[in-house]
Copies of this chain bind each other. A is one copy, B any other.
Amino acid sequence: MIVVIGHKNPDTDSVVSAIVGSYLFNQLGFNSKPARAGELNKETKFILNYFKKNEPELISNLAGQDFILVDHNSVKESVDGRDDHRLAAVIDHHYLSGVQTEKPILYRAEPIGSTSTILAKMFWEKKIDLPQDLAGLLLAGIISDTLKFNSPTTTKEDKEIAQKLADLTKVDIDQLAEQMFEAKSDLGDLSWGEIISKDYKVFEGNSKTFGVGVWETVKPELLLRNRDKIIESMRRKKEIDRLDWFLFGVVDIIKQNTYLFLVDSDETELAQVVFNGKIENRIMFLPGIISRKKQMVPEILKYLNK
């Protein structure tokens, strides 16, 4: 039995890619099951409920398992216990992290908005029938990862394929996206510490270490009005993780802006040099910026490596 699994801190694209990917690989003669590498967020739970699918099994250690990776390839983003002798395939849309195998395997990566987009193409290329509910999951994966085609990672192909999936499932993209983003914006019973680290990554440049957390929402005001508590949680995380800087961006998916929370004078100085946005009450406003991958981190690295 081969485990099909996405990255830790799973997002919607990684979870639907595991479910639909496992179905596709089984059609191609593999014997696989989908898994998740952590707790699901509220958007993903909403989507599974919407298309009447069970949560995949939680797997937090891959030791002794054959596996297929979806939506990531880096060891840092995988659950523990991964032994690449047992890696059977990869479907991904991220950079190549240096994976090594001893035998040829299927490796399919494309510079495109979501892993879901690649999976949809593979069904059509291989002329395998794509069930309506699985098409719906893939549509949700594209909407989620591209922020409904607004992220700068979006390609023409993502849009075309999302429309094709919407036609197939008779789901209205705008309506589905609105419900997904509403679910994603629900803070639920998460602590502020959980919220700032739910989608958090650490980067290095010129011997300096910085963390960037993001929270995508249609209701930024829920976070803005709790500025002091959030900044206090950030200060603790910065200490524990021994960061030189910690930035937390609240991304307004509707208005396409980011509110960057600044812990201390270190962060304020860095953000002023790199982004030069208007600061009010220790929050910098960044109009038009919504992507950590394409817009935030590259600018910081460019400055540090100068």
Contact = CB atoms under 8 A, between A and B. Distances in A.
Interface range for A: 20 to 34
A110 B106 CA distance: 4
Interface stretch (A5-13, A93-101, A172-180): A93-101
The prevalent SS among residues of A at the interface is loop
A105 interface: yes
A91 to B, nearest CB: 11
A272 B100 CA distance: 32
A109 interface: yes
Interface of A: 92-112, 121, 125
20 contacts: A92-B104, A93-B104, A94-B104, A95-B100, A95-B102, A95-B103, A95-B105, A96-B105, A97-B100, A98-B98, A98-B99, A98-B100, A103-B111, A104-B109, A105-B109, A106-B109, A106-B111, A107-B107, A108-B108, A121-B125
Given A98-B99, A121-B125, 9 more contacts: A93-B104, A95-B100, A95-B102, A95-B104, A96-B101, A96-B105, A98-B100, A106-B110, A108-B108
